[in-house]
Structure 1
Amino acid sequence: MKIIVPMAGRGSRLRPHTLTIPKPLIPIAGKPIVHRLVEDIAKVINQPIDEVAFIIHESFGETVEKDLIAIANKIGAKGTIYYQNEALGTGHAIMCAKNSLSGPAVIAYADTLIRADFELDATADSVIWVKQVDQPEAFGVINLNEANEIVELVEKPKEFVSDLAVIGIYYFKDIAVLKDELQAVLDNNIIHGGEYQINDGIKQMMAKGMKFVPGKVDEWMDCGNKDVTVDTNNRMLGFLHNDGEHLVDYDVKLENSTIIPPCYIGEDVVLINATVGPNVSLGKGCHIVDSTIKNSLIQTHAHIKNANLDNAMIGNHVNYNGDFTSVSLGDYSTME
């Protein structure tokens, strides 16, 4: 089994945080989004993963590439790097990894996290993960027949089709079939919105009678902008806490301070006259002094003093001394 992860976009809606780090490497509950995604997919599939292919922009750099290879290695897989240097759509991104498109594979876009527990339908040519939503007109949705097979993909339907939204994770029994269909999309210059789309390859597979079925997830968490990313961090902390996962480093230095779970507290964190939690992630090396923090995501080596933070997202190496609440500060910022 392979996992294909298109992640070449920087994530403009999550600026300033993505000016210095790609969005899939933003930590959620102490672990990069893409790391959690790959681990969660591996758990759901419950099969050995041979390769994880990451499709990135060449500008991400060598350090990011090494981090991604390490993510693959941690689940016992080979990591492969491919480049998509032009924003030409989801179908184009997948074809950038065409040398890895063979055999059974999962495609998972690296801006979403899931919680799911189900078995793959061995009779299906493909599984498309979906989640029931309240406003289906804002999403791409699936249309099912009486046999619970997917017969149509509809983007932002004006009239009700279903309330099952496509979340951007797909399984293919043989992804080489999708590769052939996407090559035809490229060769015939089939473009929507100025881009080559994965849906056009999938629709051609459906037209040839291949069986597509839905895979429903229990939770679908987005990381599109600051507010939803903070909310995703909060929700993930709750899930991990309920799972019994240890989230607080044993060597955290506490002085007249309180941690209210669920929280993630990384290595070398110092808390002085502070109340942290619930729903707070503090990365490695953070110093929190005379502050109250809840419902917030703070990355590594941040120094925060005299703060009362709620719904805050703070980057790496930030110095913050102030009286604000819902803030969003990128890496290496100073506010005093």
Structure 2
Amino acid sequence: MKAILPVAGVGTRLRPLTHTQPKTLVHVAGKPILGHILDRLAPVGVDEVVLIVGQWGERIVEYVEKSYPRLKVTAVEQAERKGLGHAVYMAKDVFGAGEPALIVLGDTIFQADLQAALTRGKSAIGVRRVPNPSQFGVVELDGERVKRLLEKPADPPTDLAIVGIYYVRDSALLFRCLDEIIAEDIKVKGEYQLTDGLQRMIERGEELFTFPVEDWWDCGNPDILLETNRELLERERPAAPQLQGSIVVSPVAIDPTAVIERSVIGPYVSVAAGVTIRDSVIRDSILNEGAHVSTVLLDHSIVGEDADVRGEFSRLHIGDSSSMHLGGSGRRE
């Protein structure tokens, strides 16, 4: 089965991390965001991924081909970002008539029983109840079937949010509907929406059902990325390495190529390949590939690729009943 993964987004809310790398390759809980997604697709029979790429598309393709050699990779460039509906439409020439398609957003890590959803053999969309549905696309049901899809409505009729996982039984019908929407220039907030294409499929008689998503993380900004890192490390509990001369506090994910000396690492730390850490204390943080960190205490921090972070230690002789603040501007209350 083929899966469409739109990964052309630039990740503006994650800058400066995404100034020099695609959002989907940002490290979290031991691997890039995209790696977590692909780990969830292979067990349900996905053997080809269609990557809708933009800037740094070659890096994304290189990562998938190197890390998932059994997957066939097809890359389609989206030169101009015109919305999710347009991104999915770009894959039209890769699919044969009547071929099904699994669509998964390339920046959303999810936990769901995909196998059960696919076994049903009907078009289906992943949903989860949320307290703030106006911030999401939502579905309105008629019994078990989807009656209507709405993109971030001001007055949402339900609290069933669209998570970003779609199974379409007849991809040719979806591509025809998206083609019509683009030809008629039907946009919402300046973009062609996938929900409009799915809605038109429903109007043509396609049955669309839902399946529950247990959890999902959109990794949209640094705070959410760190929260995702904590939750995934807590859930997956990777084996913690024994590091001579350093202390590791689980849960952590440390790439075997990382060099760590005289440091305390964890909890909730993700260390990517090629990272060097010396004489530091690091907790609740993510260190991307090739980063160098020395003589610092990092907490709730993200260090980008090949970044160099250095601090310094101080030697003090401080008298009784004294107060001193080191590292930044202190103030007395």
Is the Cα contact below 8 Å between 1:253 and 1:269 reproduced in 2?
no
Does residue 141 of the first structure (1) align with residue 138 of the second (2)? yes
For residues 286-305 of structure 1, the aligned pairs below 5 Å read 286-305=275-294
Distance 1:61 1:101 in 2: 21
Aligned to 2:14: 14
Which range moves more in the overlay, 77-86 or 282-291? Answer: 282-291
Distance 1:61 1:204 in 2: 31
SS of 1:216's partner is strand
Is the Cα contact below 8 Å between 1:124 and 1:212 reproduced in 2?
no
Distance 1:181 1:157 in 2: 22
- In the TM superposition, residue 253 of structure 1 has moved relative to its aligned partner by 4.3
Is the Cα contact below 8 Å between 2:76 and 2:90 reproduced in 1?
yes
- In the TM superposition, residue 155 of structure 1 has moved relative to its aligned partner by 2.5
Distance 1:138 1:195 in 2: 16
What is the CA deviation profile of residues 284-330 of structure 1, one whole-angstrom value per residue up to 9, with x for unaligned ones?
2322223221111111222212222221110122211238xxxxxxx
Describe the shift of the 1:77–1:271 C-alpha distance in structure 2 as closer, same or farther (beyond 3 A). Answer: closer
Distance 1:82 1:299 in 2: 27
For structure 2, the residue ranges without an aligned partner over 5 or more in a row are 313-333
Aligned to 1:189: 185
Distance 2:177 2:153 in 1: 25
- In the TM superposition, residue 278 of structure 1 has moved relative to its aligned partner by 1.0
Is the Cα contact below 8 Å between 1:144 and 1:151 reproduced in 2?
yes
Deviating 4+ runs (over 6 angstroms): none
Does residue 239 of the first structure (1) align with residue 235 of the second (2)? yes
Is the Cα contact below 8 Å between 2:137 and 2:161 reproduced in 1?
yes
Is the Cα contact below 8 Å between 2:150 and 2:195 reproduced in 1?
no
Distance 1:121 1:286 in 2: 40
SS of 2:306's partner is coil
What is the CA deviation profile of residues 37-57 of structure 1, one whole-angstrom value per residue up to 9, with x for unaligned ones?
1221333xx2x2232100101
Aligned to 2:197: 201
Could you say which structure has the larger radius of gyration? 2
SS of 2:85's partner is helix
1:273 to 243, 252, 262: 262
SS of 2:117's partner is coil
Taking every aligned residue pair, what percent have the same amino acid on both sides?
35
TM-score (norm 2): 0.86
Aligned to 1:152: 148
Describe the shift of the 1:254–1:299 C-alpha distance in structure 2 as closer, same or farther (beyond 3 A). Answer: farther
Amino acid of the structure 1 residue aligned with 2:9: G
Does residue 213 of the first structure (1) align with residue 202 of the second (2)? no
For structure 1, the residue ranges without an aligned partner over 5 or more in a row are 324-336
- In the TM superposition, residue 160 of structure 1 has moved relative to its aligned partner by 4.6
Describe the shift of the 1:87–1:171 C-alpha distance in structure 2 as closer, same or farther (beyond 3 A). Answer: same
Is the Cα contact below 8 Å between 2:13 and 2:220 reproduced in 1?
yes
Taking only aligned residues, the RMSD between alpha carbons, in angstroms, comes to 2.0
Is the Cα contact below 8 Å between 2:128 and 2:162 reproduced in 1?
yes
Amino acid of the structure 2 residue aligned with 1:196: Y
Paired residues, number = 309
What is the CA deviation profile of residues 35-84 of structure 1, one whole-angstrom value per residue up to 9, with x for unaligned ones?
211221333xx2x2232100101x4153433223345x44x331101000
For residues 119-134 of structure 1, the aligned pairs below 5 Å read 119-120=116-117, 125-134=122-131
SS of 1:218's partner is strand
Distance 1:222 1:65 in 2: 21
SS of 1:312's partner is strand
Which range moves more in the overlay, 224-233 or 26-35? Answer: 26-35
Does residue 49 of the first structure (1) align with residue 46 of the second (2)? yes
Which range moves more in the overlay, 191-200 or 6-15? Answer: 191-200
Distance 1:306 1:107 in 2: 44
Aligned to 2:36: 36
Describe the shift of the 1:200–1:93 C-alpha distance in structure 2 as closer, same or farther (beyond 3 A). Answer: same
TM-score (norm 1): 0.86
What is the CA deviation profile of residues 206-247 of structure 1, one whole-angstrom value per residue up to 9, with x for unaligned ones?
112211111111111111111111111111111211xxx53x
Distance 1:116 1:277 in 2: 28
What is the CA deviation profile of residues 69-115 of structure 1, one whole-angstrom value per residue up to 9, with x for unaligned ones?
345x44x3311010001011111111211112341111111111011
Aligned to 1:222: 218
1:93 to 84, 87, 95: 87
For residues 246-257 of structure 1, the aligned pairs below 5 Å read 246=239, 248=240, 253-255=243-245, 257=246
Which range moves more in the overlay, 26-35 or 265-274? Answer: 265-274
Describe the shift of the 1:27–1:203 C-alpha distance in structure 2 as closer, same or farther (beyond 3 A). Answer: same
